[in-house]
Structure 1
Amino acid sequence: MTLPRPIINRSGRTKRALGVQTALEWAFRIEKAELELPPPKDVPEEGFGFGLEYVLLQRAALGCKVDGGQHKMGSYTHPDAEVVAATVAGLPDSLGGIRMAIRVAELARAGLTPDWMPGVVPRCVPVETKRNQHGERATTVVVGTERVLTRGKWRTVEVLACPVTWRPHPEQITSARRGYDDWWQALDWVRDGLVEGEMLRDVEVTGAMPKMQPWRR
């Protein structure tokens, strides 16, 4: 990741100007900052430590790695990166709380943006297909019978239909884009907190943000 050229603030101190997403990737991916997670609300804060069972339960529930541990061994993390991580850990419950904090940190560590399924359009397709010597064909099911007159005789014939579905389902696209919007709102909150907190020494967080609802053109 290439960092932008430095700027000089009013106090004369040289700082790096970073958008919030770049700042997050710098903190978690380059500086290897760790996310400090608060204890569960039903556990006393005094003497609390993240036990192995708790960490495994969180991993299973959230589907991702949970960062823990207050101190890093044998490595240095820039203080500004620690401030960024602490700000992320403070995401309010209204924006997803701990779950969103972990998502923001993991995406930043991987250098990724949430997949909002760009360019995907639902298509009506057969629920099931089968292939034979004549090629691939949609599977049909019997949905009823009808009496038809054929060559002067009444016959009972099966009425066939091809079950269809939407792939991907519109709800999948909606869910993916809702997830992107939730992530964007979290980044907006983190950016405001870093700017208003004025605790960063060598980094200047700018107003630059990822595109808001990039699927709307």
Structure 2
Amino acid sequence: MSKFDRKLHGQPIASPRKEGLQSRKGRPKRVMTVQQALEWAFRTECAQLELPEPPDPERGQGFGFGLEYVLMQRAALGCQIDGGRYKMGDYTHEDAEVIAATVAGMPDDLGGKRMAIRVAELARAGLTPDWMPGAVPRCVPVDMKRNRYGDRAVTEVVGTERVLSRGKWRTVEVRACPVTYSLHPEQIEAARRAYGDWWRALEWIRDGLQVGNMLRDVQIAAALPAQRPWKPKQTRLRSP
């Protein structure tokens, strides 16, 4: 995990011992951010992402199903989940199954099935999307060549000009150095746009888990990763 991932994760939140934050077994709930909860569910508990079936052209069904459906099915079950058909004797915590089901219900306007897979893969690897920290576009020569005087940019002929030199008109070549951008601005913008899409998906998952209140042993905190970590932090001046 890079130093940037550690900054985004922040410090673990201590489990509060407040009234109303107890599991059904009487123990205090574990308080996690939504990113910590996702990593716990997919990385530690190895929960599986069960995606909906492909659309049926006759019935006009689309990808994804609402969080309300997930919560209704979870409440109707009324018993402890045994880990699902993907487990071979290993127990998966029921809260991890609820988190995975919530991710699977990602709405289409937030990326649908593709974003659900992306969120699960990053959580399973314990990573955040690469938003290219410190990346700055640089204009560099397309090619370089080396001689005894050092490295020089490769140039090419782009035209000719007539010049008067030593009393005679001569034709000389006009040469230019082709350049390109190393880390094009569009690459950086695309990486940070993808990070923003991931952040909005985490916000939706957090809100759904908090409103649904279906987790038995885990409490989802309000904290989210930095929304725009590439923006410089503004320091507030304190009045004397």
Scaled to the shorter chain, the TM-score interval is 0.7 to 0.9
Matched, 1:138 2:153: yes
TM-score by length of 1: 0.83
Show the counterpart of 2:15: 6
| Conserved 8 A contact 1:107-1:114 | yes
The offset of 1:192, in angstroms, is: 0.5
The residue aligned with 2:195 is 180
1:149-174: CA deviations, max 9, x gaps?
Answer: 12222111110001112211000110
2:163 counterpart of 1:148? yes
Shift of 1:130: 1.9
Pick the structure with more strand per residue: 1
- Percent of paired sites with the same residue: 65
Structure 1, unmatched stretches of 5+, are 46-68
Amino acid across the alignment from 2:168 = K
- Measure, in 1, the Cα distance between the counterparts of 2:144 and 2:203: 46
Query: Is the 2:122–2:129 Cα contact (8 Å) retained in structure 1?
Result: yes
Task: Work out whether 1:210 is the aligned partner of 2:225.
Answer: yes
- Establish whether residue 18 from structure 1 lines up as the match of residue 32 from structure 2: yes
In 1, Cα distance between equivalents of 2:138 and 2:125: 31
Residue in structure 2 matched with residue 104 of structure 1 by the alignment: 119
Shift of 1:12: 4.1
Q: CA deviation at 1:131?
A: 2.3
Measured at CA, do residues 3 and 31 of structure 1 come closer, stay the same or move farther in structure 2, by a change above 3 Å? farther
Q: Which consecutive aligned stretches of 4+ in structure 1 deviate over 6 angstroms post-superposition?
A: none
Give 1:216 deviation, angstroms: 1.8
Could you tell me how far apart the structure 2 residues matched to 1:42 and 1:132 are? 66
Letter in 2 for 1:76: Y
Provide the TM-score with structure 2 as the length reference.
0.75
Query: Do the aligned residues in 1 keep the contact of 2:22 with 2:29 (CA within 8 Å)?
Result: no
CA gap of 1:175–1:12, structure 2 versus 1, over 3 A, is closer
Question: Aligned with 1:156: secondary structure?
Answer: strand
Structure 2 alignment gaps of length 5 or more? 1-8, 60-83, 233-240
Specify the alignment match of 2:6 in structure 1: none
Is the aligned partner of 1:87 residue 2:102? yes
